[in-house]
Amino acid sequence: MADLHELTALDQWNLLQRGEVTPLELADHYLGRIEALNPLVGAFVTVTPDAARERAELVRTSVPRSAPLWGLPIGDKDLWQRAGVPTGFGSRLLAGYVPEESDEIVQDLDAAGAVSLGKTGAPEFGLPCYTETLVAPPVRTPWDLGRGAGGSSGGAAAAVASGMLPFAPGSDGGGSIRIPAAACGLVGLKPSRGRVPSGSGLESLGGLVVDGPIARTVEDAALLLDGMIARRNGRVDHRFAVVAPGDDRAFLGAAVRGEGRYQLGVMTTSAWDLDYEIDLDPDALAALDRAADEFAALGHGIEQTALTPDPTYGPAFITLWKAGAARIPAEGEAMALLEPLTRWLVEQGRAVGARELGAALAALTAYERSLIRQLSTFDAVLTPALAMTPRPLGWYEAEDAEHNFAQQVQYTPFTSMLNVSGLPAITLPVWQTSDGLPMGVQLIGRPGGEAVLLSLGAQLQRRIRWQDRRPAVWGTANLR
């Protein structure tokens, strides 16, 4: 049999179900991978081997085997609290903080039968799209250890891409699942607002932040999404999730079948085109062309489209980004513990008045309606995932916050507008540069359209077979 980490998460789940491997054996296998590879990649900021082994045995003896993630290892993003485990939020401000209670998303993953091996790295309070902090080594894409894994779910993506986890949950408030997934050659799915009950976005400012999966295959992403949705007796709890009546079907079926013919739009415009100069790397365009050609060969309709420029988007989003940082618990001398970008955002955010914030929220609500209307003639719309190749470590300006934000937008212009609109989106790793760097595309779905995105992704995966690619670091340690 192949080494366990060579198998898909779905294959590993089937082994667990048949009793051919135990949760403890699987946890031990991945803990060995983490011990060998994490010093190179920096994906985990905290590893909890004793707790993981105890949890694996608890799953074996006390969690129903029918649980959707039964026995499968994951990592908790370091923006999520797990009782008894240090949770640093990527910041010196919370060094040594150990929560007494777990966040709801952590509880739901536990209820689904997952086994946490520790905390995956994130930037300070999840604010930037790269994971290079003052409290831990930078998180590197396994495809080139001199380049960053992206953020804010950078540790989660790096762990999956290097074979330290079969898949990993993340959160996405402006691209934080899709950006690192693309930088690490993975599938990353941002669900519709309201799809995942404990990470719905409905409780966050502007409804931006939702939770979703990062995986090597479309099927694995669907499997993890089903586990995160936290069905009760096979049904979604309608009090906490936005679903159509009767729409309780698991998404794994759509990903496995990969059926249907659809009308697809293709575009290279974004919500930021009036605010910043957006230059698309030739490899970003090559990835887009490859995906469009493959979809056309599969019989899907392909049509070029473009967004109507909107001067209100950029200023409104920046206002919201600042205001979201205002709640960070730093006062007085503690402000000096924050990184320069975060400190500037906190100061700027606390200066935003109620009238300014209300106007920004109104403008983004109008943009949400406009974007959904503009894309409504398509079943899905194809864009580049990133405008550039994964960025070298140290590329982002540390001291000049406004220049830093411009860099982030120029790297990731296609992501934040979908958090504003609440639309689902999936990134797919369809291309590699001449240097072997991953480049992906993004598919944008209709509201609640995750099944279509997974079906399309599965069809493309069958033709390109990105799951067979491995970064060099994958085989650095010969572990069982």
Residues serving a catalytic function are 77, 152, 176
- Cα–Cα distance between 214 and 199 in angstroms, integer? 15
The answer to whether 211 touches 199, Cβ cutoff 8 Å, is yes
Quickly count: other Cβ atoms within 10 Å of residue 203's Cβ.
10
- Cα–Cα distance between 183 and 171 in angstroms, integer? 16
* Single-letter code of the amino acid located at 165: L
* Single-letter code of the amino acid located at 237: D
- Cα–Cα distance between 81 and 306 in angstroms, integer? 41
- Cα–Cα distance between 67 and 64 in angstroms, integer? 6
Enter the tokens of residue 470.
């491995």
Q: Could you give the C-alpha distances from 152 to 27, 82, 243, 445, 469, in angstroms and in order?
A: 25, 18, 27, 22, 24
- Cα–Cα distance between 176 and 178 in angstroms, integer? 6
